[in-house]
Structures are given as structure tokens and as C-alpha cells.
Amino acid sequence: MSIFPDFSHHNYTIIQELGRNREGGRISYLGESLETQQKVVIKQFRFVDADATWTSYKAYEREISILETLDHPRIPHYLTSFETEDGFCMVQEYKEAPSLANKSNFLPEQIQKIAISVLEILVYLQNHVPPIIHRDIKPENILIDNNLNAYLIDFGLAKIRDGEVANSSIAAGTPGFMPPEELFNRPLTEASDLYSLGATLICLLTQTPSSNISQLIDEDYCFKFNHLMVKLNPQFITWLSTLVNPLPKQRYPNAEIALNEVRSLNINALLIPNNKPFLVYSFAKVGIAFIMLGFLMGGVVNIRRFFSSFNTNYQINVNPNLSNGEAWYQEIKPHCNSVEVGTAMKNSPPPNTSDGIGLAAGCYALAGKIEQADQLIQTLPKTEQFTAAGIVFAIGHPVADAGDDESAGPIMELVIKYQPENFMAVYHAGMSEYVLGDYAKSKANLTKFLELYQQNDGWRSNAIEVLNRMNSNTSVQSN
């Protein structure tokens, strides 16, 4: 006699149990259609179970109502539902793919591919009308096939963002993966799912089980994981840190921007150019628009990748086999502070190349020594000052992302001096100056940003919002 329920009168048979939901009363089975032999997932809710709750049943209703509106190849389709003698069943498409919770031993480049795959799904959900917030992204709810295609499941906690924000009267989700705004019943945004995805990627990169994720979070809800990823590209770590920033406004505003950013990164490698005068000439030849696109999509790294397609003798160097300039910077970086930087530069002068000067200027900029950084850049020929300023931007961009406005504002102003069309530097300068109360500069930079950057996304929306705020405030206008 079978230990599984008999659903044959609904044209389904049970093959095996897949799992039991933590809320009780919810069991998932692998089933098969008696008519088509199609494998399906059958989620059963049983009112008779002692732990069954009305909330659990409402989760099924919510999941069905949302799944009925979705049509994405990597979100298992809702097929049907039926009542049983003691409850209710929902039937979904079955994907031959285990969850990430069942496998954690991925290479970094594989994890990057998984991140891209999940973000593509989130872009679809956030472009849905109205946008949908999943609210329970974690390894257990992401399936992964042999080609590293991700599938997102379990929409029982999903919320529809039908206004400015999605509000939640009750915190839901999984501890460690819930963003702080969810924990404190604050408004949810499109950045909320990014936090949960970031926590999931940290689990994979550090091989931390989901149940132990809280061990990497401090009392201020900040993830402490950098020491476990010292061999990875610092730009990727910065990208990941942005995803899990406790403050929603310090994360990427939506999945599309986060996706564009991570696609531009090499998770393992640092891209280092050979110092060739020809490259300076190439900057002028290919045009400033391509260069600025490179800065938006990943700073110096992408510019170097861009030039590699033109056979300009660029090469990829992976730690610890760094080029002369990059190796010097890795040694000097811990001393890029206002107390040590002067002595450090005297004891270990930078390589006498445009890259070396750019890295040294970036170190001075991190230390708050903007005048010294500017003086270094001015020692270069004018044709190379642009490149050096690009290196300063790549070094200073994480400072802006981290919300250190006092440091980021002057750094970005220095970049703008030599790269007036660098719209991301203009944006960060304007936002930092707004926070610091320098409204005249903020208005000028954000207005210029809107002229330079025409894409309708979160960056442009943020700039418009801040400009409107300043323009509507008479005390601001007087500044």
C-alpha cells in the first residue's frame, strides 16, 4: 500500500516526497500526470495537520495569484489546483534541477554566472506591471541545472509593488536572508530582493550553510565576509557588498543596474594594461562616448577589456602575478590614509608610468589629500591625464558606493576636472554634495548628469528626485 496520498482521481500520481515546508501543513511531492506523463510538483496543504495555519493557506492563494500572471522560462509555470478531502493542492511545472542548498562547491566564475541568471529573473519580475518582490530568495528557493541556469521557486511570500513601495505588516522570509527593512516592517523596494540574493551568493562563495549565515552578520546587520574572499577581484567584492548594504538606498536601486554592473566584472582577474603610448592616441580615435560607457560599466577594468578587442596589447594578470604598478598599489593601499600616506610614498615611490602616477593619485585621494593627487596628475602629459583620472575614479568609486560622502565628493570633483563627461563621477559628486549641504555644486552636477545620461533608470530618477527636493525648498535655493 502506498504511503503517498492518492490523487489519481485528479489524474496525478505521486513518485516521491520532495520536502516539508517549515510552516507545517505543507508538503511538496514529485508527481506525474496520468494523461501526459509530464512530471510535476504537487504542493499539498492539509488543514488536519496540527501545525497548519490560515497563514499557510493564504500563502498558497498568494502564490497562485502571482504565478498566474508570470510567463518566464526560469520560473516554473503554475498548471492547476484542486481540492482534497483534507485540504488543497497546487500543481506546478517540474524542473530537473537541484536547489543551491544541495550543492555549495562552485567555482567563483560559476557563482558569477548564477548571479547573472538570478538577476535576469529579478529584472523580469521588477519589469512586471506592477513589479513583484519575491521576499524569500535563498539557496533553497533557487534551482540550478547543469548549465548553471537558475530557476526561482516558492512565491508564497511574494508582494506586489502596486504603489511607491510594498508594505509588509508582518516580517516574513528567512532570518539572515531578510533585508533589515523587512525585519523592522519598513517599506520594501526593488532593492530588497537584491539583499537576499547577495546573502545567497555569500553563502556560496564562503561555502556557508544557510542555517549558519547569521554567523557572518554583525549586530548592525552588516555582513563580514571580505576576509574569506581575499583572492577575488576587489571590484566584485565591492559589488557584492553593495547588494547587502543594510541601508536600502545604498544598494543598487534595482536588478537591472546590478546585472549590468556584474556582467562587466571578471570575478577572478585584475585587468592590467601594458603601458603603450599608442593607447593614448587610441582614446582620441575611438571617441569619448565609448570610454565613458566603460566607466559606467566597471571603470578602468572595462576600458581595458574594451581596448583588448582592438589588439592594443593589453593582458590579464591574476593575483599574485601582478604588473609592476598594480603590485605596488596593493602594497601601498593599507597606508592610503592621512597619517601614513606621505611617509609611505617617500619610502616606496610609485612606478614612473602613467598607470603608476594614476594609482598614486588614487592613494592620495583615498587619504583625503586631493591637492597632492591633483599635483601628481598634472605631472603627466595632458594626453595621459585623462587616463590617470580614470584610475582615480576606479579607486574612488567604491568609496562613493559605500556612502562616504565626505571622501567621495572631493574625489569625484577631481575626476570631473579631467573627465568632465564622466557622468557617473558627476552623479556621485552631485549626490555627495547634496548630503554635505553644498547645494550649489550639487545642483550644477546633477543638472549636468541629466544632460549626459539619458537612460530612464534608478540613477536618473534619484538625480531628478534630489533636484526637485532642492528646488522646492526655499532654504536650499538660497544657498
What does the alpha-carbon distance between residue 368 and residue 370 come to, in Å, rounded to a whole number?
6
State residue 422's pLDDT score.
Answer: 87
Q: What is the pLDDT of residues 73-97, one digit of tens each?
A: 999 999 999 998 888 899 999 999 9
State residue 56's pLDDT score.
Answer: 64
Maximum Cα interatomic distance, the chain, rounded to a whole number of Å:
86
Interaxial angle between packed helices 423-436 and 405-418, expressed in degrees from 0 to 180 and rounded to the nearest 10:
140
State residue 418's pLDDT score.
Answer: 93
What does the alpha-carbon distance between residue 90 and residue 67 come to, in Å, rounded to a whole number?
11
User: In angstroms, what CA-CA distances link 298 with 79, 238, 303, 325?
Assistant: 42, 11, 8, 19
Contact criterion met (CB below 8 Å) for 153 and 215: no
Quote the Cα angle for 468-297-114, to 5°: 110
Whether residue 390 is predicted with pLDDT greater than 70 in this model: the reply is: yes
- Which residues are CB-contacts of 37 (< 8 A; sequence separation ≥ 6)? none
State residue 25's pLDDT score.
Answer: 64
* H-only helix segments in 92-191: 108-127, 180-183
What is the domain partition of the chain in residue ranges? 8-93, 100-263, 270-477
Per CATH, the homologous superfamily of domain 100-263 is Transferase(Phosphotransferase) domain 1 (1.10.510.10)
Q: Is 20 exposed, middle or buried (0-12, 13-18, 19+ CB in 10 A)?
A: middle
**Residue scoring higher pLDDT (289 or 130):** 130
State residue 162's pLDDT score.
Answer: 57
Which range has the top average pLDDT, 9-18, 260-269, 308-317?
Answer: 9-18
What does the alpha-carbon distance between residue 453 and residue 204 come to, in Å, rounded to a whole number?
35
Q: For 193-229, give the DSSP string.
A: HHHHHHHHHHHHHHT--GGGGGGGB-TTS-B--GGG-
Sorting pLDDT into bands at 50, 70 and 90, what band is 218? confident
**Residue scoring higher pLDDT (319 or 172):** 172
CATH number of 8-93: 3.30.200.20
Q: What is the pLDDT of residues 149-175, one digit of tens each?
A: 999 999 988 888 654 444 444 446 688
Fold match between domain 100-263 and domain 270-477? no
pTM of the model as a whole = 0.57
| Domain 270-477 top-level CATH class | mainly alpha
